[in-house]
Chains A and B, each alone.
Chain A
């Protein structure tokens, strides 16, 4: 079924009786050419690009819960291509380009809204650093504009510019960044993969990975054994547990990150605003809720909920930056499990087991990476070669120390990125 404005109109006039399920609910087969563990954004986009770019359609995505039920449905929906270091910048630049064509590509409205991402600075030194980052982004072929205080005030009149601790000097504007409808991204890729013949198998938890003589043979699941010569682990915060089934330890510690949304308000915040010094960022959803968040709770956790101290900190930072939000009521809060790496950058690589791949370590930046991550992992699985945009995301960079991409230069402690 193809979606179009005409179709919506026709269905609306005829009682919406013509809509059908957007993907099948197939029984798992005994064998596939490739199996992807994890039906989140990255797993589904990997399946989509394996089918579309590489003609691999005899594949399955195995999901222990429901499609898009993990971090892709729990994030704050920000998309940006404002990375600094080589290795990261070309990857996120590629991802941003894929985002720009995604609704047409998938015939699915992912509501990508390029409302601009603004990162604030509060001192001369931070202005220099922002200019440097902006130049790196421009050199990468992306967009960046350095706004002084007057220029920023035109866009964001509601900030507390004369805050005693963090007076606002200006901001780095990345116009092509913005937000997207997070569930729609997962659903759009799922539908596109299904249409190309990929089996999306839900309620199917992987319980073991079969390895013989250093080669992967398939997986054991709660719905029986499935043979496959290629298996990819794409399980975000749960990567450690799944990798352990293959006898691996990953350079990952899982942490909880909280997010918050207010009641629906009239349009007031037109951009994504990032206040790094307060570890606070905010945007407003199309429904009107203020969507905001802060830093990790800082201790290893799988709880999908955080504790009150970080909640208090985030609220304080928000009030420091924009006192106008003080009367908005918080509607709900939640937590997601972040796969934190020792350099804050992700991993898309082969493993010591032939045919076994990992795509993990997205820390709290995985949402924007969904298109390019699937694109690059599909390329790696199909061709055996790293895609040029993701060639730096090697698993062995920690051991060798070569090619580390530590954007914040905080060192090897997992939770500091």
Chain B
């Protein structure tokens, strides 16, 4: 499995650390309540198919990335800088 880092180019999966679902970018307000925090920390759509998750290019430039990929085929469809995604969310 290779991941196309927007900064470094196509690199081996071993250079990347997997953090989990990209829901991690949507951190709730501290006082959002138990249910919202439970959903953020624990509950997952866990799709068999296309998913978006958060990786870090720890063995390269260190950038945090949002990777759109397929959990059934392991195909990587798109890689964006998490900072860009976060800006677009705001």
Contacts and interface: CB of A to CB of B under 8 A. Distances in A.
B73 interface: yes
Given A302-B48, A307-B13, A342-B42, A413 B19 contact: yes
Contact of A249 (B1, B12, B13, B39): B39
A253 interface: yes
A210 B74 CA distance: 33
A301 to B, nearest CB: 5
B46 A412 contact: no
Given A300-B51, A300-B53, A249 B14 contact: no
Given A250-B44, A251-B44, A252-B44, A303 B73 contact: yes
Contacts of B19: 413
Contacts of A303: 71-74
Interface string B1-29: 10000000000111000111100000000
B41 interface: yes
B45 interface: yes
B12 to A, nearest CB: 8
B46 to A, nearest CB: 3
B71 A301 contact: yes
B31 interface: no
Given A302-B48, A303-B74, A400 B34 contact: yes
A254 B46 contact: yes
Contacts of B71: 254, 300-303
Contacts of B14: 309
Given A300-B71, A302-B71, A398-B42, A253 B13 contact: no
A137 B71 CA distance: 38
A394 to B, nearest CB: 13
B2 to A, nearest CB: 10
Contact of A238 (B35, B48, B51): B48
A251 B37 CA distance: 12
A240 B45 CA distance: 7
A247 to B, nearest CB: 12
B53 to A, nearest CB: 6
A188 to B, nearest CB: 30
A298 interface: yes
Given A301-B71, A301-B74, A415-B20, A249 B43 contact: yes
A299 interface: yes
A241 interface: yes
Interface string A240-278: 110010000111111000000000000000000000000
B33 to A, nearest CB: 10
Contacts of A300: 20-21, 46, 51, 53, 71
Nearest to B67: A299
A80 interface: no
A189 to B, nearest CB: 27
A250 B44 CA distance: 6
A412 B40 CA distance: 11
Contacts of A301: 71-72, 74
A374 B70 CA distance: 33
B46 A250 contact: yes
B51 A251 contact: no
Contacts of A249: 39, 43-46
A250 B43 contact: yes
A10 B46 CA distance: 52
A287 interface: no
Given A252-B44, A302-B71, A400-B34, 4 more contacts: A240-B44, A253-B21, A299-B53, A399-B35
Interface of A: 238, 240-241, 244, 249-254, 298-303, 307, 309, 342, 398-400, 412-415
12 contacts: A250-B44, A251-B42, A252-B46, A299-B55, A300-B21, A303-B72, A303-B74, A309-B14, A398-B38, A414-B20, A415-B18, A415-B20
